[in-house]
Amino acid sequence: MKKKKIYNFSFIALLPVNVNLFNHQPNIEFYNHMTKIHILKTDPTDNPCVNCGACCAYFRVSFYWAESESGGGLVPQELTEQITPFMSCMKGTNQKSNTRCTALSGTVGECVSCSIYTQRPTPCREFDQSWLNGIHNEACDRARAAYGLPPLEPHLPQIAC
């Protein structure tokens, strides 16, 4: 049996070949037309957020009030708190100590989930884990550090040829 070589590769001239847009954790295969090498994301279920939750228990989650149900939005009204005439926040996040969004279920740093994931406000939708798509998020590192979790490392794809 022939062994496959594994190479680290930067994302230059990569085009998506097979992307399932209806799956939250897509299987993605890239093909580099310059080198004729296929790059596979080998573990589509690898999502450090489900083992973390530090951002939900560290930052105030504030957003425009109309994102809540009373303004015609999706965020459940009973989980929000008004902070100004124009801004609301998720209950549990507008305090200096014991900050924790009431929608967060589970234990930070172990296993967590958002009880309103499909209805979450914009700040939650826009907050990315560090190194997602190669972009460092210092705020993610800061929240993780507050819970004694190490910063996430850049993930370099493996190339099999």
- The span from the CA of 72 to the CA of 145, in Å, is 36
- The angle formed by the CA atoms of residues 50, 56 and 58, to the nearest 5 degrees, is 125
Closest by Cα among 153, 106, 113, 103 to 129 = 153
- pLDDT per residue as tens digits for the range 81-114: 999 999 999 999 999 999 999 999 999 999 999 9
Q: Which amino acid is at 114?
A: C
Confidence of residue 157 (pLDDT cuts 50, 70, 90): low
In whole angstroms, what is the distance from residue 42 CA to residue 6 CA? Answer: 12
User: Whole-model pTM?
Assistant: 0.69
Residue 148's pLDDT is what?
Answer: 97
